[in-house]
Amino acid sequence: MRGFRARATWSAASKLEALMDIEQITDARIVPFLLEVLADQREPAEVRIHVLKRVRNGGLRAESRAPVAEAILRVLSDRSSADLRLQAVLALAEFTDIDGVLATLGGLALNRNESIDVRYSAFTSLQRAGATPDSVAVLRQLSEDDTLGRSARGVLVSWQLK
């Protein structure tokens, strides 16, 4: 991990290779290290996206879930890469049980100033959360949306709520 940090001039491909090696190690310091990489706006987008996918798909310990969700939520404010933001929204689908995640997804899905990709990804992440009171409330609001309304109504019907 020190070696990764010391080589800021590495190519993205070299960094990805190093990350894949680091991820093979079973150590409690790996997730905090990955979150540092994720938060570092100097890292190439493809490196940060790789980290997002890793923490989304990796078997996290229960105590790591909230810090990972918080780190992903912070990535959403980084507007330097549309792909990075999109991957962050998709990753949040795995963390809808964490405080603030459903509200953020709802805000993104309802925000007509967001790209359709981000809005739809937020919508599908809400759908994956299931029929919680928060997700139902957002889907009911979305059911009146010109873009996502039909999809939202379809989900509500499938949940037998409309």
The total of structural domains in the chain comes to 2
Identify the domain boundary among 64, 95, 126. 95
Single-letter amino acid code for the residue at 12: A
Reading the block at residue 73, the tokens are 């939520």
- Tell me the pLDDT band of 35, cut-offs 50, 70 and 90: very high
- Tell me the pLDDT band of 3, cut-offs 50, 70 and 90: low
Rounded CA gap, 4 and 43, in Å? 11
Residue 119 domain boundaries: 102-162
| Same domain for 64 and 5 | yes
Q: What is the pLDDT of residue 16?
A: 81
Q: Angle at Cα 160 formed by Cα 154 and Cα 162, nearest 5°?
A: 65
Tell me the pLDDT tens digit for each residue of 43-95.
889 999 999 998 888 678 889 999 999 999 999 988 878 999 999 999 999 99
| Same domain for 88 and 121 | no
Q: Is pLDDT larger for residue 80 or for residue 133?
A: 133
Q: Angle at Cα 50 formed by Cα 44 and Cα 56, nearest 5°?
A: 140
Identify the domain boundary among 62, 95, 128. 95
Tell me the pLDDT tens digit for each residue of 84-99.
999 999 999 999 999 9
pTM score above 0.75: yes
| Same domain for 106 and 90 | no
Q: What is the pLDDT of residue 1?
A: 65
